[in-house]
Each structure stands twice: as structure tokens, then as C-alpha cells.
Chains A and B, each alone.
Chain A
Amino acid sequence: MKQRRLVSNTLCHVLLAVLGFIWVLPIFYVVLTAFRAEEGSYKSYIFPKGYTFDNFVNLFNTSNSMIDFKRWFLNTLIIAIFSTLIAAFFTVCVAYCMSRLRFRLRKPFMNLAMILGMFPGFMSMIAVYYILKGLGFLETGALKQVALVLVYSGGAGLGFYIAKGFLDTIPKAIDEAAYIDGATKWQTLIHITLPLSKPIITYTLLTAFMAPWVDYIFAKVIMGSDTQYYTIAIGLWTMLQREHIETYYTQFYAGCVMISIPIAILFILTQKYYVEGVSGAVKG
């Protein structure tokens, strides 16, 4: 019996080690190439012949008309901050209404949200593009950025499902106790529900913040060929295009590392909230 457990334990650890290796390898390769000294794209070997920091230095020093990493980074950061605030506000508002309140339009709204969620998000994009164009939002680069913020946050109210799922796990009895003590619904929301919802608020903020960093399609459609207003995602994609890949291959990886580090730190710090947020954590 004891021997069998030993065997199965060993097997499990070996399996985990193999899987872990597979999962770490690509990340390892990205980091390795970011420090590669040789220029050019694909090489016939894995381990670089020399190592250098130049890729990172060059990344922040090149600012020609096509490739401007520093600018892209700032663009994305600004867009992310504004769209996060709006999107998280919308999501939490709707999630609270759907979870804690009962009103006549609630079920219709939930069904509508589900139906709307089934259309490819990209489909409405083209119309949004023309609406924004009609409103004059696409005339200068700065206005395009405002347009992008609106695009990322405008429909955020539809993404309430996960937050609602979390709020559903907060016992109703807590709210009822507050009502009996004479609190209005507003006071209950501000003083009871929101403090208990910190995990899901963090989760919502985080996912909303990530969106502009990882979105390709919306940014590309809105920005077109206005390279200096690009966000990171389309910027890095540009670096891998045929005309740039030979020059910027290693810098592309340096850029990937630069982007991943802050997001990874942010993510690991809030991982606890992520887990709690997805699964619901407040016990009655």
C-alpha cells in the first residue's frame, strides 16, 4: 500500500515536471532571444552566440516614423487607464442590479445581453467606425484615441456575468439585515456590498485594464495606418511584418519582455483576487 502510494506520487511529480517544462520553454525562448546579440530574424541554432542589452536600449531610442515603442507604450497606458475606469464602473453597476435587485426589466435585460454577446463583437465594429467617423471622432489621432476608449468601455455593461456570479454568492441575509436596520439600498450598496466585493472589483479592473494591451482588431480598425497612435499590440505586430522583421526581430522580443513584466507582476499580485473573483469567496 505504502509502496503503491510512493509510485503514484513519483509519477505525478514526473508528469508535473514534464508539463511544467513545456509551459516554461516558450517563455524561456522569448527571454533568450530578447538578449540575443546577433541581428536578423530566424537562426539555425537556439542558444544565442552573444548576449546584449542593446535590444532594450534600442527599443526605447528608436523613434522613426514607423516604429516608436515608447510612444506606443504611453498610448496604450493612457487608453487603458481611462477605459478601465469607465468599463469597471459600468460592469459593477450592472452586475449589482442583476444580482441584488429584482425589477421588471431584469430578465429581459439578461436575455438581451446574452443574445448580443452571441454576435461577433467585430461585426458591430464596422458600424461603430462609421458612427465615430460621422461624429468627427476620426479626424485627428488624439480623437481616435478617445474613440478607442469609448469602443473598449462603451459596451462593458454587457460583460457582467462573472461579477454577477460573484455577487450571487454573497448571502442575501446580509443585505436584509441592513434593510431592517433602516439602511436604504444605496447605503447598503456603498457600505455593505461594495466592501465585500473587493475581489471581484479588482478582477474587473484588472481584466478591463488588460484589454487594450491585448486587443488587436479594434485598435487596428480605428487607427488604420496612423502608426504613431498605435497601441502596443498592433505596434509589435507591425514589427513582425515582412519589411521590418529582419531589423526588428530581436527588438520585438525585447518589447514582449518589457510588456510582460509589468502585466505579470500586476497579475501575480492580484492572482488571489482573480481566483476569489471567479469562484466566489464570501461565506455566510
Chain B
Amino acid sequence: METISKNPRTDAPALRAVLPNTARPLQVIRESDAISKLSLLIFGLGNLINRQIGRGLLLLAIEIGYIAYMVTFGIGAMGDFFTLGTVLQEEVWDEALGIFVYTKGDNSMLCMLYGVITIVLTAIVIAVAYMSLKSAYCTQKRKERGMHIPTLRDDLHSLLEENIHGLLMAFPSFGILAFTIIPLIFMILIAFTSYDRDHQPPGNLFEWVGLANFAQLFSSGSRLAATFWPVLGWTLIWAVCATFSNFILGMLLALLINRKGTRIKGFWRFVFVLSIAVPQFVTLLSMSTIFNANGPVNVMLRAIGLLGATESIPFFTDATYAKITIIGINMWIGIPYTMLSTTGILQNIPVELYEAARIDGAKPPTIFRKITLPYMMFVMTPTLITAFTGNINNFNVIYLLTGGGPDSLDYYFAGKTDLLITWLYRLTITQKDYNLGSVIGIMTFLVLAVTSLLTYHRTGAYKDEGAFQ
């Protein structure tokens, strides 16, 4: 049974009967008539024929624009994308000027970039082609059933109603595409090329090398492998320690401040919140001077006689000390954050739940286990995963405190406290080994994907978003 509403603006349910959300592309194609099918090739045809001029022209304009782009630029760019450039920049003697001039060679990097952009544009146009087919199909069905065919005005109005997500998501999605997705595809592809310090465009070309970089990383005995595994190990230890020390101790601190017997709660909260208010890099840079060999901590230890006059604890220059110091400083930064956010959540748990539990005779430990903890986990799991991800990629703490040092000669341009991300920074910015950097980036991603995707899919917050709604 389908209801056909008279009002074109509210006939969304009827439309859903025409084109269910679960409709598969093949099904749509099978049921389309010739004109609708032709709309796959000539965008907007079905709409134009049925006098939906605005929508039809828009789709057609996209197609014409794309063809113009491909003919003038895109096809050439795709060719260069596969070769990554063939003409090397050369020095040539210019008779007329009497000097050596550089002939313009191909820039492998730009070849790759334009190739990626062309591929993404093509993917978008394919999506638009499907939209064109769907749009023509809907119009065809509406016509068959004698329903109102939406005008441009109706289309625009639907952007405030059932298609509001299209309006709201357009700009953010464009930003994500341009500043995250395209760059990321580009960098992932670099992992399969020879773009290292010996192959720097524009002077040199680099080329596709397949999985050679990954092979280098996993071949036992290479210096790269001897660096990768220890760095990965420390990255994981760091992320686990940093995330859980902050979460557990921060929650305990919140409970300590919130317990009934504690006086001047506001004051205690203020003392800890003060450290959040200080920008993180200020904290980190000052901490790096405070724990310096001649910094105030060592001075203080000398003054009270724990160290001799010239001795100092190597807070940042000994690998083990450095690791402990970093985790300690990170706790100083992170615990107040957890304290603050858990305080809010603790206060936010519906009082009725507690009252009901108390009436049923539940003891405080049971209440904590059955009400407080599940609620906390429901709210905090995404935060915890974000924190874990953030810690694996925590560039600032490591770079501003130790810079990855103390350096090790056994490592391939890495130090003992380098995380994957700071190593990536060194490989790319300092060493210009972009291909290796990219491989490390992909490995970082795999580590994160494996750990967090699994946990996230198990949490209540993902499975049942509305549990507390």
C-alpha cells in the first residue's frame, strides 16, 4: 500500500516507496526506461525532458565541465601519473645567451598530484552519473504514478527539509576531501615509489617501485627493521601507559575531590584546572627546561644534598630516565583533563537511578559497579579511544621534551624516545626520505586500525547510540 500525498513538499514517504533506501544500483538500472538509462551518459537528460530545467542543467554542466577538463588536461595528467614523468631536467648550453640554462623537466611529484586529483574528480563524476540516473528514474516513476514532479523551487526547499544533510555537509565534506583525503591518497601512493633523498624533484625523477620499501622494512638485518620494531614497541608502551594512567588516576582524583568529606571542593578543582589553562606547548617547553641537566629540579636535589654539586639526574639524556620522565610529565598534563571531564559525567548521572538502587537496598560498591561504571564507560569509551589514538600520534610531547633523543647509532635516524610519528617527522622533514616516512605512516595507521576499530565496534556507544537518549 502506498499513500500518495497531494502536497509535493511532504511526499517524501511516497518517494521512498518509489525508491527505497535499500535500492541497489542494478535494480534501478533494470527498472529504468530508455531515457533514464541514457541519463547515465547524458547527465540530466531525464530531468530536462520532464521540464526539470534547473536540476537537468546543473547535472549537464557538471558533465560538460568534466569533459572539458579531461580533454585539456586530465588525459595527459593520467598518462604522466603512470610514468611519473620521463623528461629529466637538463643543463643545456644556450648559444644566444652564452650561458647554461635548465630545460624544464617533468616533476614527478606534480605528475602524481595531478593524477590523484584527476582520479578523485573522475570518481566524483561517476557518482554524479549515478545521481543523474536515479534522479531520472524517480521522475519517470513519479510520472507513471501521476505524482507531482518537483520543480527547482521544491528541490531548493527540500534542502531545508529532508535533504538538509546535503546542505550542511557540503562545505565540511569539501574541506575534508581537499585537506585530508586527497593529501592522504597522495602520501599513501608515495610509499610505493622511490621518492627519497636521492630522487628529489624537480632535479630528479622518482618512479614506482611496488612493495620494495615495505620489503626493506621487514627484511631482518636491515637497519630500518632494527629501528622500526623498537620504536613501535615504545610507541605502544607509551600509548597504553599514557592513556590509562591519565584515565584511572584522573577518575580517582575526581572521586577524591567529589567525596562527601572533602572540604573546599572548588578550591581543589581550581588548583588542578589551572594547569589545563596553561597552553600545552608552554608547559612542555618549560618542563624541558625544568628537567634540564642544570634545570631547577637538579638544582633543588643538589641543594638538599641528594646529589653532589656537579652531579645531575639525566632526565632526558638517558633512555630509561627519559621514558619515565615523559610519562610523568604527561600525567601532569593529562590527569586534570580527565578529572574535569569525569567530574561532569559523575554529576550528570540521573539521580533517579541512584534513588531506585538505594530503595532496592543496593550497597555503594554495587551501585558503583552497576550504575556509575557502565554510565562512565558509555560516555567515556569514545574519549578513551580518541585519547589512545591521540597518544600514538602525540607529536608535541615527545618533540618538545626530548626531540626524540637520546639518539642511537643503531637506529636509522631515530632516538630512543622517538615515537613512530616523530620518526616520521625526522624521515620526511630532516632526511627527505618521503617514501620511508610514508611507509611508517601506513604502519602507524595499521596499528591504530587494529587496536581501536575492534574495541570501538564492541562498545555500547557505537552499537546503541540512543541508549541514554
Contacts and interface: CB of A to CB of B under 8 A. Distances in A.
Interface residues of A, number: 103
Nearest to B276: A267
B296 A123 contact: no
A124 B282 contact: no
A91 B172 CA distance: 8
A106 B386 CA distance: 20
A161 B360 CA distance: 36
A22 B332 contact: yes
A62 interface: no
A260 B176 contact: no
Nearest to B171: A90
B216 interface: no
Given A19-B253, A127-B182, A264 B428 contact: no
Nearest to A220: B429
A283 B263 CA distance: 28
B237 to A, nearest CB: 18
Contacts of B285: 236-237, 240, 252, 256
B169 interface: yes
A185 B164 contact: yes
Interface string A24-36: 1011011000000
Given A23-B332, A134-B110, A154-B178, A104 B21 contact: yes
A213 B282 CA distance: 10
B299 A118 contact: no
Contact of B256 (A15, A91, A119, A240): A15
Give chain B's interface residue range (CB within 8 Å of chain A): 35 or more
B134 to A, nearest CB: 11
Interface in A87-115: 89-91, 93-94, 96-97, 101, 103-104, 106, 109, 114-115
A15 B259 CA distance: 14
B211 interface: no
B396 A216 contact: yes
Interface stretch (A52-60, A67-75, A138-146, A168-176): A168-176
A268 B256 contact: no
B332 A263 contact: no
Interface stretch (B136-144, B286-294, B318-326): B286-294
Given A16-B262, A97-B169, A124-B180, A118 B256 contact: no
A30 B382 CA distance: 35
B365 to A, nearest CB: 16
Interface string B256-271: 1101011100001011
Contact of B281 (A29, A93, A214): A214
Nearest to A24: B271
Interface string A143-156: 00000001101111
Contacts of A89: 171
Contact of A127 (B187, B256, B271): B187
A29 B296 contact: yes
Contact of A26 (B21, B178, B286): B286
Contacts of B184: 116, 119, 123-124, 127
Given A115-B449, A127-B184, A120 B176 contact: no
A119 to B, nearest CB: 5
B279 A259 contact: yes
B274 to A, nearest CB: 6
A278 B344 contact: yes
Nearest to B256: A12
A189 interface: yes
B277 A260 contact: yes
B82 interface: no
Contacts of B379: 165, 279-280
A49 interface: no
Interface stretch (B54-62, B86-94, B461-469): B461-469
5 contacts: A30-B278, A101-B165, A122-B421, A157-B176, A186-B164
Interface of A: 5, 8-9, 12-13, 15-16, 19-20, 22-24, 26-27, 29-30, 41-46, 86, 89-91, 93-94, 96-97, 101, 103-104, 106, 109, 114-128, 130-131, 134, 150-151, 153-158, 161-162, 165, 168-169, 171-172, 184-187, 189, 210, 213-214, 216-217, 221, 233, 236-237, 240, 249, 252-253, 256, 259-260, 263-265, 267-268, 271, 274-276, 278-281, 283
Given A9-B261, A186-B161, A279-B347, 18 more contacts: A19-B253, A22-B332, A23-B272, A93-B168, A94-B172, A97-B169, A103-B165, A124-B179, A124-B184, A131-B182, A153-B175, A154-B176, A155-B179, A256-B285, A268-B273, A271-B273, A271-B340, A281-B348
Interface of B: 21, 109-110, 113, 160-162, 164-165, 168-169, 171-173, 175-176, 178-184, 186-187, 253, 256-257, 259, 261-263, 268, 270-283, 285-290, 292, 294-296, 299-300, 302-303, 332, 336, 340-341, 343-345, 347-348, 350, 379, 382-383, 386, 389, 393, 395-396, 399-400, 420-421, 424-425, 428-429, 434, 437-438, 441, 444-445, 448-449, 452-453, 456, 461, 465-466, 468-469
Closest 4 CB pairs of A and B: A157-B172, A154-B179, A127-B183, A264-B277
